[in-house]
């Protein structure tokens, strides 16, 4: 039995087989081959299987996340039909007598280098696609599962880290837990684990060569991965898991109940989502609405700018499925840790303090207007709010409102109907906290983004795992910033919610209620736990 210590990103217990996810980036060695025709056939078989995989991923993505996100798999399949790409591989095998793996790797590198050197932004962005396609074919040739989850049973998934575009490939019902070598509490993998409500560990320095395929236990309470546990350890954790399951069942009894304190004070408990595929979990956990629709995932899961119609369909689907309940859509929060190649953002020394979120929107209004038009069109079908991230001044809000009025005027002139949309801002910078009274006069609501607010208040990079011990979200400075925002927001006429991960921290639920917060928006899996915490609070003792 071997234990690997890490840090917990989401609590709970998982027991099952370990599956090490590889991105297929192993060293490709050049070897001589004798039967060139057989080697060509070996490449053809691998290419055909890769196309089958991509077709399957395309259909899966179409069902789960829509056409925009699925398009990348269609583009990858088309590369495997490109005559120039195929001729290069065949020629190297025939003329140089080398193995198919090396021919594919070399061709992929050459094409990627050629595309990266082009002036056209779209073609430059295709360089990464060629590499991905080549890695897929190489993995098949090597007999390695590189992209996707090749397992008939649910597994504990181990990886260096996972990008949002990679997670779409997984059958979520086959994942018991995420364990990553890198990442942070706010990495995409951690957020996904919390959305799914499964145990998750980060910064686990496991030995991939010795753990793959073995029985494992994830202790999301202590941050431990146990490999090849003995019978007593399995029995102990099985009992813990059964206890956890019983607690979850008890929470189910809270469905349909109000989020009301013992003394009768009611607040809204909403859910955070990344797209339409998360609505099932929102409804299953009885959230009162959507407090944060992370619209940037529509961009992160696409290989080019999502069109107005593509965004409109995604927003409309969520609004319709929520059937009149509030849906608050955050405009794109690209930049910092969330990069899209096709945005062609310059490399920055301090990206968290750089060109990101609303700054991109104000500097590239054509992108901003496309998104706003899509949101306003979707607002016709339900109750929609828009909130803008990374706000630091009243002037920014006034610029935004001017652009909003231009978009509404365009829609009016085209005879396109839309609903009444509330406008709000994310309060996640100290500047917004200090200006909160003045900002509240300009908008309908605030939503406090505690992830970034903690980062900027404590000067701790939220993506740096070495700073976890310093980035204390319970810091008095962070809590004072939250309280100041709530008080000033109310004075200025805005309601105030919390949509950062701190909103799901039930140790602070009573504190937030005492501060006067109006809404808490959390991962769907945490809605009922927060409701339970709210219903145990008695604020009358503070009157």
Q: What is the CATH number of the domain that holds 493?
A: 3.20.20.60
Q: Quick one: average pLDDT of 373-383?
A: 97
Query: What domain count does the chain have?
Result: 3
What's the pLDDT score for residue 69? 54
**Claim to verify: residue 8 and residue 43 sit in the same structural domain:** no
- Dmax over CA atoms of the chain, in Å, equals 87
Active-site residue numbers? Answer: 188, 499
Integer angstrom CA distances of residue 413 from 29, 38, 407: 62, 64, 10
What's the pLDDT score for residue 79? 81
**Claim to verify: residue 373 and residue 489 sit in the same structural domain:** yes
What Rg do the C-alpha atoms of the chain give, in angstroms?
25
Q: Quick one: average pLDDT of 26-44?
A: 87
What's the pLDDT score for residue 112? 81
What's the pLDDT score for residue 125? 61
**Claim to verify: residue 99 and residue 206 sit in the same structural domain:** no
Q: Say if CB 408 and CB 394 are below 8 A apart.
A: no
Query: Which residue from 133, 127, 132 is spatially nearest to 112, judged by alpha carbons?
Result: 127
Q: Is the pLDDT of residue 64 over 70?
A: no
Q: Residues in the chain, how many?
A: 543
Q: How confident is the model at residue 139 (pLDDT cuts 50, 70, 90)?
A: confident
Q: Quick one: average pLDDT of 415-427?
A: 97
Q: Is the pLDDT of residue 520 over 60?
A: yes
Q: What is the CATH number of the domain that holds 229?
A: 3.50.30.10
**Claim to verify: residue 183 and residue 121 sit in the same structural domain:** no
Contacts (Cβ under 8 Å, ≥6 apart) of 47: 80, 86, 137
What's the pLDDT score for residue 301? 77
Q: Is the pLDDT of residue 534 over 80?
A: yes
Integer angstrom CA distances of residue 414 from 370, 376, 409: 15, 13, 9
Phi, psi values for residue 159, rounded to 5°: -155, 160
Helix (H, G, I), strand (E, B) or coil at 260: strand
Q: Residue 1: inside a domain, yes or no?
A: yes
131, two tokens: 């590499």
238, two tokens: 């099985």
- Alpha-carbon distance of 288 to 258, in angstroms, equals 9
Q: Say if CB 474 and CB 458 are below 8 A apart.
A: no
In this structure, the strands spanning 215-219 and 13-20 are: antiparallel
- Alpha-carbon distance of 293 to 339, in angstroms, equals 18
Q: Is the pLDDT of residue 426 over 90?
A: yes
What's the pLDDT score for residue 135? 82
The domain in which residue 522 lies consists of: 268-535
Q: How confident is the model at residue 147 (pLDDT cuts 50, 70, 90)?
A: very low
What's the pLDDT score for residue 352? 78
Last residue of a domain, one of 142, 167, 182: 142
**Claim to verify: residue 443 and residue 481 sit in the same structural domain:** yes
**Claim to verify: residue 477 and residue 344 sit in the same structural domain:** yes
Q: Say if CB 164 and CB 188 are below 8 A apart.
A: yes
**Claim to verify: residue 318 and residue 445 sit in the same structural domain:** yes
346, two tokens: 């310059």
Q: Residue 309: inside a domain, yes or no?
A: yes
**Claim to verify: residue 82 and residue 103 sit in the same structural domain:** yes
Q: Is the pLDDT of residue 50 over 80?
A: yes
Q: Quick one: average pLDDT of 269-289?
A: 91
What's the pLDDT score for residue 100? 92
- Alpha-carbon distance of 78 to 11, in angstroms, equals 42
Give pLDDT tens digits for 156-200.
999 887 765 466 567 777 889 999 888 776 666 677 677 777 899
Q: Say if CB 379 and CB 319 are below 8 A apart.
A: yes
Q: Quick one: average pLDDT of 326-341?
A: 82
Q: Say if CB 320 and CB 382 are below 8 A apart.
A: yes
Last residue of a domain, one of 142, 175, 198: 142
Q: Which helix (DSSP H) or strand (DSSP E) does residue 240 occupy?
A: helix 231-252
Please state which of the ranges 9-13, 125-129, 408-412, 457-461 shows the lowest mean pLDDT.
125-129
Q: Residue 473: inside a domain, yes or no?
A: yes
Q: How confident is the model at residue 433 (pLDDT cuts 50, 70, 90)?
A: very high
**Claim to verify: residue 181 and residue 215 sit in the same structural domain:** yes
- Alpha-carbon distance of 487 to 508, in angstroms, equals 17
Q: Quick one: average pLDDT of 223-252?
A: 91
What's the pLDDT score for residue 63? 66
More confident residue, 123 or 295: 295
Q: How many beta carbons lie within 10 A of that of residue 322, not counting itself?
A: 24
Please state which of the ranges 15-24, 153-162, 529-538 shows the lowest mean pLDDT.
15-24
Q: Is 330 exposed, middle or buried (0-12, 13-18, 19+ CB in 10 A)?
A: buried
**Claim to verify: residue 132 and residue 86 sit in the same structural domain:** yes
Task: Concatenate the DSSP letters of all residues of 445-463 into one string.
Answer: EEEE-HHHHHHHHHT--TT
Q: How confident is the model at residue 26 (pLDDT cuts 50, 70, 90)?
A: low
Q: Residue 258: inside a domain, yes or no?
A: no
Q: Say if CB 305 and CB 324 are below 8 A apart.
A: no
**Claim to verify: residue 171 and residue 300 sit in the same structural domain:** no
69-83, 324-338, 390-404: which is most confident: 390-404
What's the pLDDT score for residue 292? 97
What's the pLDDT score for residue 166? 63
Q: Quick one: average pLDDT of 259-273?
A: 96
Q: Quick one: average pLDDT of 364-386?
A: 96
- 260-290 b/e (C-beta count within 10 Å ≥ 16 → b): ebeeeeebbbbbbbbbbbbbebbeebbbbbb
Q: What is the CATH number of the domain that holds 58?
A: 1.10.274.10
- Alpha-carbon distance of 180 to 23, in angstroms, equals 13
Last residue of a domain, one of 223, 239, 255: 239
Q: Is 94 exposed, middle or buried (0-12, 13-18, 19+ CB in 10 A)?
A: middle
**Claim to verify: residue 67 and residue 157 sit in the same structural domain:** no
Contacts (Cβ under 8 Å, ≥6 apart) of 183: 9, 161, 189, 190, 202, 203, 465
Q: Residue 257: inside a domain, yes or no?
A: no
Q: Residue 253: inside a domain, yes or no?
A: no
Q: Residue 228: inside a domain, yes or no?
A: yes
Query: Which residue from 221, 169, 234 is spatially nearest to 8, judged by alpha carbons?
Result: 221
Q: How many beta carbons lie within 10 A of that of residue 74, not counting itself?
A: 16
Helix (H, G, I), strand (E, B) or coil at 324: coil
Helix (H, G, I), strand (E, B) or coil at 224: strand
Q: Residue 245: inside a domain, yes or no?
A: no
Integer angstrom CA distances of residue 360 from 16, 354, 366, 385: 44, 10, 10, 20
Give pLDDT tens digits for 447-478.
999 999 999 999 988 777 778 788 888 999 99
- Alpha-carbon distance of 59 to 71, in angstroms, equals 10
Phi, psi values for residue 502, rounded to 5°: -65, -25
- Alpha-carbon distance of 369 to 375, in angstroms, equals 10
Contacts (Cβ under 8 Å, ≥6 apart) of 436: 427, 446, 484, 485, 488, 489, 492
Describe the strand order of the beta sheet including 155-159 as a list of residue ranges.
2-5, 224-227, 215-219, 13-20, 155-159, 175-180, 200-202, 7-10
For the chain, percent of residues with pLDDT exceeding 90: 56
Q: How confident is the model at residue 144 (pLDDT cuts 50, 70, 90)?
A: low
- Alpha-carbon distance of 337 to 306, in angstroms, equals 20
């Amino acid at each position: 039995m071997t234990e690997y210590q890490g840090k917990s990103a989401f609590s709970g217990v998982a027991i099952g087989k370990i599956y090490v996810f590889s991105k297929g980036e192993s060293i490709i060695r050049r070897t001589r081959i004798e039967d060139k025709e057989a080697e060509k056939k070996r490449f053809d078989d691998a290419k055909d299987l890769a196309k089958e995989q991509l077709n399957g991923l395309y259909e899966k993505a179409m069902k789960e996340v829509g056409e925009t996100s699925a398009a990348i798999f269609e583009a990858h399949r088309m590369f495997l039909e490109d005559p120039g790409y195929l001729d290069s591989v065949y020629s190297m095998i025939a003329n140089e007598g080398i193995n198919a793996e090396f021919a594919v790797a070399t061709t992929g590198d050459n094409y990627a280098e050629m595309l990266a050197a082009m002036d056209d932004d779209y073609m430059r962005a295709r360089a990464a696609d060629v590499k991905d396609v080549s890695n897929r074919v190489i993995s098949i040739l090597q007999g390695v599962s590189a992209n996707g989850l090749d397992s008939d049973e649910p597994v504990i998934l181990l990886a260096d880290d996972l990008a949002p575009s990679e997670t779409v490939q997984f059958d979520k019902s086959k994942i018991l837990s995420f364990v990553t070598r890198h990442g942070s509490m706010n990495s995409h993998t951690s957020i996904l684990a919390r959305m799914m409500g499964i145990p998750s560990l980060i910064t686990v320095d496991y030995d991939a060569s010795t753990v793959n395929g073995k029985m494992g236990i994830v202790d999301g309470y202590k941050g431990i991965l146990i490999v090849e546990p003995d019978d007593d350890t399995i029995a102990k954790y099985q009992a813990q898991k059964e206890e956890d399951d019983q607690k979850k069942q008890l929470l189910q009894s809270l469905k349909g109940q109000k989020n009301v304190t013992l003394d009768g004070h009611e607040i809204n408990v909403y859910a955070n989502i990344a797209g339409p595929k998360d609505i099932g979990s929102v409804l299953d956990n009885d959230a009162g609405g959507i407090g944060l629709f992370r619209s940037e995932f529509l961009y992160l899961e696409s290989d080019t700018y999502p069109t107005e119609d593509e965004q409109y369909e995604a927003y409309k689907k969520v609004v319709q499925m929520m059937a009149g309940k509030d849906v608050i859509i955050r405009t794109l929060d690209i930049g910092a840790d969330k990069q899209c190649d096709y945005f062609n953002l310059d490399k920055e020394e301090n990206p968290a303090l750089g060109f990101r979120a609303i700054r991109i929107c104000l500097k590239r209004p054509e992108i901003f207007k496309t998104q706003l038009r899509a949101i306003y069109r979707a607002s016709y079908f339900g109750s929609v709010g828009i909130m803008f991230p990374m706000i630091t001044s009243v002037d920014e809000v006034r610029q935004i409102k001017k652009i909003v009025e231009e978009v509404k005027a365009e829609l009016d002139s085209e005879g396109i109907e839309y609903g009444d949309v509330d406008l709000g801002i994310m309060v996640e910078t100290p500047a917004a906290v200090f200006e909160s009274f003045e900002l509240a006069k300009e908008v309908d609501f605030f939503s406090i983004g505690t992830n970034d607010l903690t980062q900027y208040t404590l000067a701790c990079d939220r993506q740096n795992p070495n700073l976890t011990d310093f980035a204390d979200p319970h810091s008095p400075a962070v809590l004072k910033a939250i309280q100041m925002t709530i008080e000033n927001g109310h004075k200025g006429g805005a309601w105030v919610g919390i949509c950062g991960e701190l909103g799901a921290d039930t140790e602070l639920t009573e504190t937030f209620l005492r501060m006067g917060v109006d809404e808490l928006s959390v991962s769907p899996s945490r809605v009922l736990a927060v409701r339970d915490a709210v219903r145990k609070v008695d604020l009358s003792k503070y009157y």
